[in-house]
Amino acid sequence: MEFTAIQIAALLNGTIEGDPDIKVSTLSKIDESLPDSLTFLTNPKYNSYIYSTKASIVLVNQDFIVTQAIGATLIRVENAYASFARLLEMFSKSKNDQIGISAKASISSSATLGTGVSVGDFTYISDRVSIGDNVHIHPQVYIGPHVTIDENTLIYPGVKIYSDCIIGKNCILHSGVVIGSDGFGFAPQPDNNYQKIPQLGNVVLEENVEVGSNTTIDRATLGSTIIHQGVKLDNLIQVAHNVEIGENTVIAAQTGISGSTRIGKNCMIGGQVGIVGHIIIADNVKIGAGSGVERSILQEGAAMLGAPAIEAGKARRNFIHWRKLDEIVRKVYTIEKQVNKSHE
């Protein structure tokens, strides 16, 4: 797709300095710019690149000061970074647009599809599924019985959505995501075997949720596993049965959340964090990468680090002491020897 400077400026409410009719067909980084592309500048460290860029259009902040001649057309906006992110989203949608329903897809006669829905090759849509307007489903997706998918959601290849789950508006599910597989529920028996506990609940994703590749979200034993609006989950995350994650919380890759834990709003959780089950994490909590959370964090806005996770400042001080542990032990042994010698 091609866009002119005047079209982009109108979209972003920006002002043009240069050729309003110049066209771009792709986006690029300012230090690796390409002809016929659009780039952006916000970090002063990259200011020098704007004077040699091959890009046709550069987004800059309103207060950017030009000190040399520039070959590219400038579009001045209130926030160049946010405006570039908006354009990235627009280009991404144009790349992912599919049209129509593949003849190679299998769709139950009892399923209902809204307008503008696209379905890729070898996708299977089960009985009584409800799919909203402008949902885009890539090839080789499985959607189980009684699933509801709301409008403008994007589902990439290989996603599996088990029965009765609910996916909200404007969600993105990346390749390999599994929604609604059984929770890890087994009752120990006298003979040391385990009796499987049926998992009869579902998973609910509210609107504007994004789930990274190969992340799994287990269905509840009873009730729902709930991912509230605006949550962003990275790749390779395990969310267990009956977990609830508050709105606008972000979680990095390889984190595991055990069953029935409740995580608050606006939390930030780093990669490879392990969280035990049946605890509560308050709103606005930050948990550093590699931490192990073994009890509730009830203080809003707390910053935690380490395994087991403790207050981040204390954890950093402890780490400094730990690095000196060998030296401290040697000093203790030396003092002990001197004390023992003085008593001989």
Residues with active-site annotation: 241
Tell which phi-psi region holds residue 260, choosing left (phi > 0), alpha (psi between -120 and 50) or beta: left
Element housing 183 (H / E) = none
Cα distance between residue 245 and residue 249, in whole Å: 7
Burial class (CB in 10 A: 0-12, 13-18, 19+), 255: buried
Cis peptide before 139 (omega within 30 of 0): no
- Decide: 138 and 121 in contact? Cβ < 8 Å: no
Element housing 143 (H / E) = strand 142-143
Structure tokens at 280: 């509560």
Alpha helices in the chain (DSSP H): 5-12, 80-96, 312-323, 325-342
Cα distance between residue 79 and residue 157, in whole Å: 34
CA 309 from chain centre, in angstroms, equals 23
Distances (CA, A) of 223 to 99, 180, 182, 196, 262: 36, 12, 13, 18, 14
